[in-house]
Structure 1
Amino acid sequence: MGDIEAPDSNGPRQSALLSVLPSREFASSRKGMLLLAEVALSFICFVCFAASAAAAFVTVPLLEFLAAVFVLFAYSTKFNERFKGFCWPLTDFMRCVTASIIFFIVAIMAVSKYADGSSKAAGVFGFIATIVFALDFYLIFNELASFLKQGGESNEEPSAQRDEFSDSDSD
């Protein structure tokens, strides 16, 4: 019994927590900061709507929070590179477009229809979330447009195809 060591209680717990959090490189990137802002603003709007008279609008920030957390997790763990079934930039673009439109409408409704302070706060944070989501879809649109101008091919694929053709020609 003397040769069995006690496991370090902080080791596995700390590594499990770090595997869920986004990496430092991704969190400091432009996309990482935008996704973290989307998650935070959606959660703040959710809490404000839950505490307000406009509690009927609580579904919008909750769904956007869950979608932003999923995309943050997918990008930070590079799940999007392993799962090629979706066109991830287009999916992210559509998520941001719909979120910005819906947040804008809900924020206008919350500010104009309800008089309590938490509804007004939810509306203000909804307008800020609209700006963040709109900035994200603008940047994604620019990346998609430059990708389509290149003919829809990445730089790596044509060079790999050229290598295959030159290898088959030399046979």
Structure 2
Amino acid sequence: MADTTASGSPSCVERLKSYVKTQKGFILAAEILVSFIIIICYDSSWCGGFTTLPICKMTFATIFFIIFMMDLDKQILVINWVWTDLFRAGIGAVLYIITSLINFIGGSGDGARIAGAVFGLIAGLIFAYDTYTIFLQVKSNRQHSAAPTDDRV
């Protein structure tokens, strides 16, 4: 019988705890949490049609959180995860800022809609910061891999 208490790989909870302590894990967890708060705010407002964006962004952030936490990005090499994450975060930042400004301007008299717009602007800033950190990662990877040169003239 095998000993189940002394396994070589860490459990899922241990991976979760250690990944949330990293910068990328903290950013993704913040994106998930703020998107969930926005879903609650928009759902309780009079105009609940704006919940699609936070639902999609929370779902994508959760998927990327699980992929990066379980190191599946190093096993699935068909997808360029850095560029995919860059597009996810960039599109999220732009859409959150646009949607939040629309709700902030047109939400007079609806406190939940205004609260959702304020949290949406915060989410837009979080997604923009995530885009910036990923861009720095792409930029540093590009500088480290120089193209081969030919010495012949």
TM-score range relative to shorter protein: 0.7 to 0.9
Change (3 A) 1:58 1:99: same
| Structure 2 residue 126 is the aligned partner of structure 1 residue 132 | yes
Structure 2 unaligned regions, length at least 5: 6-10, 148-153
TM-score, reference length from structure 2: 0.84
User: 1:108 — aligned with what?
Assistant: 101
In structure 2, C-alpha distance between the alignment counterparts of 1:21 and 1:110, rounded to whole Å: 39
Cα displacement string for residues 112-156 of structure 1 (whole angstroms, at most 9, x for unaligned residues):
101201001000000000110000010000010010112279xxx
Distance in 2 (alpha carbons) for counterparts of 1:76 and 1:82: 12
* Amino acid aligned to 2:27: L
**Is the 1:22–1:73 contact (alpha carbons within 8 Å) kept by the matching residues of 2?**
no
The alpha carbon displacement at 1:21 in A equals: 7.7
Unmatched tracts of structure 1, length 5 or more: 1-10, 12-17, 154-171
2:150 matched to which residue of 1? none
Residue type of the alignment partner of 1:27: V
Letter in 2 for 1:50: D
Which residue identity is paired with 2:26?
M
The reply to whether residue 26 of structure 1 matches residue 19 of structure 2 is yes
Aligned to 1:82: 75
For 1:73, the aligned partner's letter is I
Q: What residue number does 1:52 align with?
A: 45
Which secondary structure state, in structure 1, belongs to the residue aligned with residue 122 of structure 2? Answer: helix
Distance 2:75 2:53 in 1: 29
Percentage of identical aligned residues = 26
Counterpart of 2:28 in structure 1 is: 35
How large is the Cα RMSD of the aligned pairs? 1.8
Count of residue pairs brought into register by the alignment = 137
Q: Whose helix fraction is larger, Structure 1's or Structure 2's?
A: 1
In 1, the alpha carbon distance for the partners of 2:42 and 2:22 equals 30
Query: 1:65 is matched with which residue?
Result: 58
Which amino acid is 1:111 matched to? F
| Counterparts of residues 89-100 of structure 1 (less than 5 Å) | 89-100=82-93
Q: Which amino acid aligns with 2:139?
A: A
Distance 2:87 2:136 in 1: 14
SS state at 2:18 partner: helix
Q: Label 1:22 to 1:101 Cα distance change in 2 as closer, same or farther (>3 A).
A: farther
Paired residue type of 1:145: K
> What CA deviation, in whole Å up to 9, does each residue of 1:94-125 have, x standing for no partner?
00000000000110011110120100100000
Q: Which has the larger radius of gyration?
A: 1
